[in-house]
Amino acid sequence: MQYERRRNRSNDLAIALGLQLHYSVNRARFKSLVLSEELGLLVAAAGEPNELEELAALAPILAGERRYWQGVIETPSGRERVTVARVDTSFGTFYLSGVAGMASAILSELLQSGQGIARIVS
């Protein structure tokens, strides 16, 4: 699986970020995964289209200055467990928000995906 991911790359920033998020959605079985910037604007996403913008806007608020935040929030799809990880890069801070997901893989996948995002935007 990793070999295939490494072959499926793009030099286009938006496509590369989308591929990274889709890979993480599949590995950790997230319902949605959203990358937003410090003001809560959507940068890239994978998953349920009806909740992506809202998750992007909420991520900086939920995480605040913490490295991780996890809790249950009301989404357009109902009450969902959401995990937010702060991703610090040379271009600023981003927030990676995952909805649902396989409990044993959530934090490690967000960390790994965050490292990939930091490489992509650098």
pLDDT > 70: percent of the chain:
91
| pLDDT digit string, tens, across residues 81-93 | 999 999 998 889 9
Place of tokens 């809790």: 71
| pLDDT digit string, tens, across residues 74-120 | 887 789 999 999 999 888 999 999 999 888 889 889 999 989 899 88
98 - beta bridge partners? 33, 83
DSSP-based three-state secondary structure for 79: strand
Q: Is the pLDDT of residue 54 over 60?
A: yes
pLDDT > 90: percent of the chain:
49
In this structure, the chain runs to a length of 122
**Identity of residue 107:** L
Beta strands 42-47 and 68-75 are unpaired
Mean pLDDT of the chain: 87
CA separation for the pair 26, 105 (Å, rounded) = 11
| pLDDT digit string, tens, across residues 28-37 | 999 999 999 9
pLDDT number for residue 29: 93
DSSP-based three-state secondary structure for 18: helix
Its pTM stands at: 0.87
Q: By CB neighbour count within 10 A (0-12 exposed, 13-18 middle, 19+ buried), where does 70 fall?
A: middle
**Residue 3: band (very low, low, confident or very high) from pLDDT cuts 50, 70, 90:** very low
